[in-house]
Amino acid sequence: MADALDSKVGPMFCGLLQESEDIVYEEVLDYRKVRAIVEEKLEDYNVEPKLIPMDLSMFKDAIMHVCRIHRVILQPRGNMMLVGVGGSGRSSLTRLAAFIAGMVKNEVCFSRFELIFFSISEYIQHRDHQKLPSV
């Protein structure tokens, strides 16, 4: 890992370096090139009609996350769950990675109340089922 972009994280692989139909994941040796590509795609996103422009600061970790999200969503049946505090950029980076991949981002939102309600209703159904007399 001595020749990696960041020795703490390890090598970074990205499918953004070549413009082709077949995506080839290559190890990123020139961070500036990936940064320029991601920032160019962000500018393209911001001028696209019907999309809300995003004012993002593309620092190293954000670019690495965009590359990871891009890799996962291009896999067959690829999906991921992003966890973090509100305002950390999960949704924005996913929107950007989906745009780069030529996809539309869909989001499922559950409130805490819905999750609790679902759990309680399942418990009540299970409890009532247990009380039924057996024939």
Does residue 95 sit within a domain?
A: yes
Does residue 56 sit within a domain?
A: yes
Number of domains in the chain: 1
Q: What is the pLDDT of residues 103-129, one digit of tens each?
A: 876 666 665 554 444 444 444 454 555
DSSP 3-state of 19: coil
DSSP 3-state of 116: helix
The DSSP call for residue 89 is S
Q: Do β-strands 13-14 and 26-27 pair in parallel, antiparallel, or remain unpaired?
A: antiparallel
Q: What is the pLDDT of residues 82-110, one digit of tens each?
A: 887 888 888 899 889 989 888 876 666 66
Q: pTM higher than 0.95 for the full model?
A: no
Does residue 7 sit within a domain?
A: no
Length of the chain: 135
Q: Which range of residues forms the domain containing residue 54?
A: 13-108
Does residue 58 sit within a domain?
A: yes
Backbone angles phi, psi at 45, to 5 degrees: -60, -45
Does residue 135 sit within a domain?
A: no
